[in-house]
Amino acid sequence: MANVRLQGLEKRFGETIVVRQLDLEIADREFLTLLGPSGCGKSTVLNIVAGLEPPSAGRVFIGKRDVTSLEPQERDVAMVFQSYALYPHKTLFENIAFPLRLRRVPRQEIRDRVQEVAARLGLADLLDRRPAAISGGERQRVALGRALVRRPALFLLDEPLSNLDARLRTEMRGEIKRLHAEFGTTTLYVTHDQVEAMTLSDRVAVLHEGVVQQIASPDEIYRSPANRFVASFVGTPGMNFLEAEVEGGRVMVGGLVLGLTAPRAAPSKVVVGVRPEDVELGSTSGASGLVESVESLGAETLTTLKWDKGRLVVRAAGAPKARSGETRTFRFKDDRLLLFEPRTGARLQ
Amino acid sequence: MRRTTFLFATLVGAFLLLPPLWEVVTSLKSPLELGTLPPLLPHPPTLEPYRAVFRGRPFGRYIVNSAVVAIATTLFSLLLGAPASYALTRLRVRGGSAILFGFLGVSMIPAVSLVGPLYLAIRSLGLRDTWWGLVLADTVFVLPLTVWVLATFFRGLPPDLERAARIDGATALETFLYVALPVCGPAVAAASILAFIFAWNEFLFALSFTSSQAAQTVPVGIALFPGLHEMPWGEIAAGSLIGSSPVLLLVFLFQRRVVEGVTAGAVKG
């Protein structure tokens, strides 16, 4: 068990800066996720923490130790790869036992620990098989088992679920959450999937172009994004953005005055962000738009409205209440609206 | 289209198989039949040439010499070639690819042009007419081949496997021994077979660096079959077939191992 501290981490490949001045602290037993689109530098950060790549600048601390110049095997970290990276010539038993064998753990203890982990992951009957003879979900479990058997100070997971189909992914997500609750190992998880980030993490760090945009709890990331990038990256369907004018503290989209006050420092033009569930259809007051499409997802319905100020996606519980071609009135939940600086994308409240 | 392919394959096959078939036929003929045609096929077939091969000459000893030299050459070329190949392809060795191409370049030098200097070297090492002299010369010649065959496979090794091994606590050497080498098992088998075949068939060095049955190999032995006044075609054919059989056996036994990959399931395909 240990906390992790990244200090002024930077990674350059020639002219390209992949990670820029990154400071991050992961508390002991915390589950922290690096979330970002592909190419945002999140896997690079993970590799630097693992010791697979040296940073161009900055330091990595695990517990009280400065591990920046240590080899991976000296860092007491375990990692699960997106490709699973199982050893194809070894049985599942030997795959899981490999880290222990390299540490010269006594034979009997290896057997006990591998069997314990295998039983925990439901692999007990498969230990004689080779990776080629088991399913994708089982391979994923073996990869987790190989990491768990070590009882490392830090767990690193690099997009571990992205090779699984949707149903299995949900299942393994639950499994990872249970394992973390059970073992309490400090975990750094990398994903581009916001659902994984939101459901698994204690805190999420959103990364964009090598820069941390926000580090906060999943709830805070969703409700109070630090900037337009975070707001648009998190949430499906994405947040609606509308251009608005500020006049004497009042925020107006076209002629419609919104029920919130702009901060004093706000420029005359701002961007209003509104989540699909924060738009209500069929109110008597407010504006109206043309229903462009209606998608029923079962438990909820997505309605796309064409308004003369832009397009709006509306999320509402239950069955569809409108048909395409109809004109519908709508209203914003004013206390949920977010204001952004139009050029930098920074939050204004 | 298919019929044309079939016809073409048959023609090529016949062209390739005719000489060995002719050799088989020759090895089954009695000395009297050798010079006459017809009959095309031996009539009756006789195993006499096979017996004659071992009569009055140390053919068994030639086989032992060949086996020792070929096996030792194979072992040494793997022992030296596999780590070299792995290091040059997977570890960050400065000028790694230049060194690899250096190997390739060296292997282009015709053996004949090296026989002289090699002879002097082997003689001054006191290895003339010994197994080790031949093993040394053959290993030097096989090594580039071994390195290149293995390099092709090592290059295709998924990087995540090595990264996983490092995280699991393996040193570079342990990664090589416990992960890279076993995963590239088919390549190792292929490289061994190629090295073995080369050393087993090698004639020039074996002829130049030996002078007695202490180290003479099967090809040299067969070359010594012709007497002053006779050319024992039947025995030459029989000896050649006996000499070729280990190589044929190896190829048949291991061809599947050489072709099939064991990397399936390592990473998501």
Per-residue model confidence as pLDDT tens for chain A (349 residues) = 689 999 999 999 988 899 999 999 999 999 999 999 988 889 999 999 999 999 999 999 999 899 999 999 889 999 999 989 999 999 999 999 999 999 999 999 999 999 999 998 889 999 999 999 998 889 999 999 999 999 899 999 999 998 888 888 898 899 899 999 998 999 999 999 999 999 999 999 999 998 999 999 999 999 999 999 999 999 889 999 999 999 888 898 887 888 888 888 888 899 999 999 999 887 766 788 899 999 998 899 999 999 888 899 999 998 888 888 888 888 888 888 999 999 999 998 7
Output DSSP code: residue B179: I
Residue A62's alpha-carbon distances to A156, B171, B206, B253, in angstroms, are 12, 21, 61, 53
How many whole angstroms separate alpha carbon B179 and alpha carbon B62? Answer: 39
Helices B59-90 and B96-107 sit at what angle, rounded to 10 degrees?
150
How many whole angstroms separate alpha carbon B218 and alpha carbon B24? Answer: 18
- Using a pLDDT cut of 90, give the percent of chain B over it: 35
ipTM of model = 0.84
How many whole angstroms separate alpha carbon A206 and alpha carbon A230? Answer: 7
Q: Give the range among A118-132, B5-19, B31-45, B107-121 with minimum mean pLDDT.
A: B31-45
Tell me the one-letter amino acid at B77.
S
Q: A168 in contact with B at a CB cutoff of 8 Å?
A: no
CATH of domain A240-340: 2.40.50.140
Nearest CA in chain B to A143: B164
B234: three-class secondary structure by DSSP:
helix
Task: Report cis status (omega within 30 of 0) of the bond before B39.
Answer: yes
- Structural domain boundaries in chain A: 4-233, 240-340
What is residue B258's predicted lDDT score, i.e. its pLDDT? Answer: 56
Contact check, Cβ <8 Å, B174/A99:
no
3-state secondary structure chain A: CCCEEEEEEEEEECCEEEEEEEEEEECCCCEEEEECCCCCCHHHHHHHHHCCCCCCEEEEEECCEECCCCCHHHCCEEEECCCCCCCCCCCHHHHHHHHHHHCCCCHHHHHHHHHHHHHHCCCHHHCCCCHHHCCHHHHHHHHHHHHHCCCCCEEEEECCCCCCCHHHHHHHHHHHHHHHHHHCCEEEEEECCHHHHHHHCCEEEEEECCEEEEEECHHHHHHCCCEHHHHHHCCCCCCEEEEEEEECCEEEECCEEEEEECCCCCCCEEEEEECHHHEEECCCCCEEEEEEEEEECCCEEEEEEEECCEEEEEEEECCCCCCCCCEEEEEECHHHCEEECCCCCEECC
> Does the residue B101 lie in any domain?
yes
> Does the residue B87 lie in any domain?
yes
CATH of residue B125: 1.10.3720.10
Min CA distance, A177 vs chain B (Å)? 22
Return residues 177-196 of B near A (CB < 8 Å).
178-179, 182-183, 185
How many whole angstroms separate alpha carbon B241 and alpha carbon B226? Answer: 17
For residues B119-141, give the mean pLDDT. Answer: 91
Tell me the one-letter amino acid at A87.
Y
> Does the residue B9 lie in any domain?
no
Measured between beta carbons, the chain B residues lying within 8 angstroms of A51 are: 166
Domain that holds residue B83: 58-259
Contact check, Cβ <8 Å, B266/A79:
no
Measured between beta carbons, the chain B residues lying within 8 angstroms of A150 are: 168
Residue A334 neighbours by CB distance under 10 Å: 12
Rg (CA), chain B: 23
What is residue A243's predicted lDDT score, i.e. its pLDDT? Answer: 92
Min CA distance, B170 vs chain A (Å)? 6
Q: What is the pLDDT of residues B183-224, one digit of tens each?
A: 888 888 888 888 998 999 999 999 999 988 888 898 998 888
Kindly tell me if the per-residue pLDDT of B247 is higher than 60: yes
Query: DSSP states of B101-125 as a string?
Result: HHHHHHHTS-THHHHHHHHHHHHHT
Residue linked to tokens 């570079």: B172
What is residue B124's predicted lDDT score, i.e. its pLDDT? Answer: 93
Min CA distance, A130 vs chain B (Å)? 8
Q: What is the pLDDT of residues B145-198, one digit of tens each?
A: 899 888 888 988 899 999 999 999 999 999 999 999 998 888 888 888 889 989
Return residues 181-240 of A near B (CB < 8 Å).
none
CB of A63 closer than 8 Å to CB of A153:
yes
Residue A342 neighbours by CB distance under 10 Å: 17
Kindly tell me if the per-residue pLDDT of B268 is higher than 60: no
Min CA distance, A65 vs chain B (Å)? 18
What is residue A285's predicted lDDT score, i.e. its pLDDT? Answer: 66
> Does the residue B51 lie in any domain?
no
Angle, alpha carbons B145-B150-B152 (nearest 5°): 100
Q: A78 in contact with B at a CB cutoff of 8 Å?
A: yes
> Does the residue B14 lie in any domain?
no
The CATH class given to the A4-233 domain equals alpha beta
Q: Which residue(s) pair with A244 in the sheet?
A: A270
> Does the residue B49 lie in any domain?
no
**Which strands, in side-by-side order, build the sheet including A57-62?**
A16-26, A4-13, A57-62, A65-66
Contact check, Cβ <8 Å, A78/B178:
no
Q: What is the pLDDT of residues B66-117, one digit of tens each?
A: 999 999 999 999 999 999 999 999 888 888 889 888 988 888 888 888 899 9
Q: B268 in contact with A at a CB cutoff of 8 Å?
A: yes
Q: A146 in contact with B at a CB cutoff of 8 Å?
A: yes
Count of residues for chain A? 349
Of residues B217 and B257, more confidence is placed in: B217
Contact check, Cβ <8 Å, A81/B163:
yes
Min CA distance, A211 vs chain B (Å)? 25
Q: Please, what is the average pLDDT of chain B?
A: 86
How many whole angstroms separate alpha carbon B167 and alpha carbon A243? Answer: 49
Of residues B40 and B146, more confidence is placed in: B146
Measured between beta carbons, the chain A residues lying within 8 angstroms of B174 are: 102
Contact check, Cβ <8 Å, A99/B169:
yes
What is the interface size between A and B, counted as CB pairs within 8 Å?
A: 84
Kindly tell me if the per-residue pLDDT of B264 is higher than 50: no
Of residues B262 and B140, more confidence is placed in: B140
Q: A163 in contact with B at a CB cutoff of 8 Å?
A: yes
Contact check, Cβ <8 Å, B265/A163:
no
CB of A80 closer than 8 Å to CB of A158:
yes
Q: How many domains does chain B have?
A: 1
- Nearest Cα neighbor of B99 from B159, B155, B148, B149 is B148
Contact check, Cβ <8 Å, B266/A81:
no
Nearest CA in chain B to A135: B265
Whole-model pTM? 0.81
Specify the DSSP element, H or E, that contains B84.
helix B59-90
Of B166, B169, B263, the CB nearest to A88: B263
Kindly tell me if the per-residue pLDDT of B251 is higher than 90: no
Take residue B193 and report the two structure tokens written for it: 């077979």
How many whole angstroms separate alpha carbon A46 and alpha carbon A173? Answer: 19
For residues B230-253, give the mean pLDDT. Answer: 87
Taking the mean position of all CA atoms in its chain, how far away is CA B186?
Answer: 16
